[in-house]
Chains A and B, each alone.
Chain A
């Protein structure tokens, strides 16, 4: 079944599963990566000497917003991916996985790329949740140069890299074996 949406003079004509992949990857996944990147940049700027007291309060509130957005978008993207997109990829009437497995050159997209993408996305969102805790509570240890702050910066960077690689694999998987 095809669903058509008109927006700003453009008609977007996609099937139901195609809309789901758009929501999963472009909307939720995009929001997650952008929010993670924003949190990382904001936290690296949250340092004594760089900010006025008012600037610190504003940046801490912005970090609460970006960390919260990363949490919501991150868990939404992995749950939609696991419970909705993955069954469409492996099952359904014309699963892309069967098509990719029929040729030796594309088999690794099913046996390697898809599992790696899923695992990296789950790892990323778990790390993003742990690092969001001190930001959401506006912990004092995030403002001063503590070891906890360094660990948050490192784990956030790892989460961002994992999310970026997962997103990249998702984009290529949608090219070689699109869900339609």
Chain B
């Protein structure tokens, strides 16, 4: 009976193993926060802005690549550290705080308030 149900669910493509969603969500939020931080630093410093422009006139090459590296790197690390961690309330709040921080840093008026 259990075998038949498992076969039926496999045929529908339903994944029964507990997916590692907490690392994926937190890592993506870290990537967003990194983008925000780099955007803020680019606004604050001309030198940082030039250093982060890795290809002529393509200003997002540096920040984009660094954010993707932080995102995928932290995803790989968290997937090992939080091997069986489910999405908890704390995880959800952490994601929202990181995304909100990233958006606020990337989108002025913060640059007008501090710079």
Interface residue ranges, A against B (CB under 8 Å): 57, 60, 78, 81-83, 86-87, 89-92, 95, 112, 115-116, 118-120, 122-123, 126-127, 129-131, 133-134, 137-141, 146-148, 150-152, 154-155, 158, 162
Contacts and interface: CB of A to CB of B under 8 A. Distances in A.
Main secondary structure of the interface of B (DSSP, over half): helix
B113 interface: no
Interface string B24-48: 1101100110011001001100000
B108 A112 contact: yes
B24 A140 contact: no
Contacts of B43: 115
A130 B24 contact: yes
B13 to A, nearest CB: 5
Contacts of B39: 115, 119
Nearest to B9: A140
A122 B64 contact: yes
Contact of A122 (B15, B35, B57, B95): B35
Interface of B: 12-16, 19, 21-22, 24-25, 27-28, 31-32, 35-36, 39, 42-43, 55-61, 63-64, 67-68, 71, 86-89, 91-92, 95-96, 99, 102-103, 106-108, 111
A77 B90 CA distance: 33
Main secondary structure of the interface of A (DSSP, over half): helix
A130 B56 contact: no
Given A115-B39, A133-B21, A148-B21, A83 B55 contact: yes
Nearest to A133: B24
B19 A119 contact: no
